[in-house]
Amino acid sequence: MTEERNGCLVFDGYTLIKDSLDCVPMDGKYVINTISPNSYGISVYDQEMNDALKGADYLDLDGVYFGWLPWFRDGKKAKRITGWDCFMYYANKLNESSGKIFLLGSTEETLRLMKEHMAKDFPNVKVDTYSPPYKPAFSEEDNQKMHEAINSFEPDVLVIGMTAPKQEKWAYQNKPYCNFHVSIAVGNVFDWYAGNTKRPNIFWQKIGMEWLVRIFYRPEIFRRNIGNQMRFFRHLALDLLHIRKFSKNTPALRMR
């Protein structure tokens, strides 16, 4: 059963933003992670990712197909809100309030370009950055350096661009150690905003098939993610046919 609560759709442990990021307060500490068929598929066999999605304060609907679950079940729709939408929403919001944003991820050169572009596009926003080491998993020392960089700046919004599932896990696991009001995981946005790569045309974005164009840009990502995506659609079908609930497709429950 899908409940509507404080601007969100709440079902099976997920808290999905329904229409707008306006529902997220700016006076506490909140993690917004990204949900899509791919991230769901990862969470089925990765307990840390499952925790990061269900333990996040809010989820934005980057992969529109995940929104089929509450829609087909209970007729409740959620608007697609991508990582790019999140980034632009908070950049504009902080530009109005002369707030602070911290960019965590990518290379020093990409962060430099982003900072230059933000100075032109959002002149009232104070920006700081940190480029973590490129490795599969961060050490305790790596995390400590990131915490120190973030906390010395005390941003209103922490923007994490490390790709999934690393960014979602890091946001959830490191929330207690970082000072911010809102953190968002944005994936490819750093490269798009810096100008390193180009986002697919607005037409593909509006019809929810941006992923199709990106296959041609990065076919290796499609090959890596297709199994996770198919896992989502299989579980969706099983749920709608009343064979197996989504809530039972988690690593912890499957091991029992």
Q: pLDDT digit of tens for each residue in the chain (256 aa)?
A: 899 999 999 999 999 999 999 999 999 999 999 999 989 999 999 999 999 999 999 999 987 889 999 999 999 999 999 999 999 999 999 999 999 999 999 999 999 999 999 999 999 999 999 999 999 899 999 999 999 999 999 999 999 999 889 999 999 999 999 999 999 999 889 999 999 977 655 655 555 655 555 555 555 555 666 788 889 989 999 998 989 888 777 785 554 3
Which among 184, 123, 196 has a CA at the least distance from the CA of 159?
Answer: 184
In order of 12, 30, 192, 212, 227, the CA distances from 55 in angstroms are 12, 11, 28, 30, 24
Q: Is residue 229 part of a domain?
A: no
Are 118 and 91 spatial neighbours (Cβ–Cβ below 8 Å)? yes
In a domain, 228, yes or no: no
In this structure, how many other beta carbons lie within 10 angstroms of the beta carbon of residue 96?
A: 10
Would you say residue 120 lies in a domain?
yes
Of 187, 208, 222, the closest CA to residue 64 belongs to 208
Counting every residue written for the chain, the total comes to 256
Q: Residue 234 domain-assigned?
A: no
How much is the pLDDT for 206? Answer: 59
Q: What is the DSSP letter of 3?
A: E
Q: Is residue 73 part of a domain?
A: yes
Residue 222 belongs to some domain of the structure:
no
Residue 253 maps to a domain:
no
Six-digit token string for 181? 């009001």
> Is residue 64 situated within a structural domain?
yes
Domain limits for position 153: 3-202
Domain count, the chain: 1
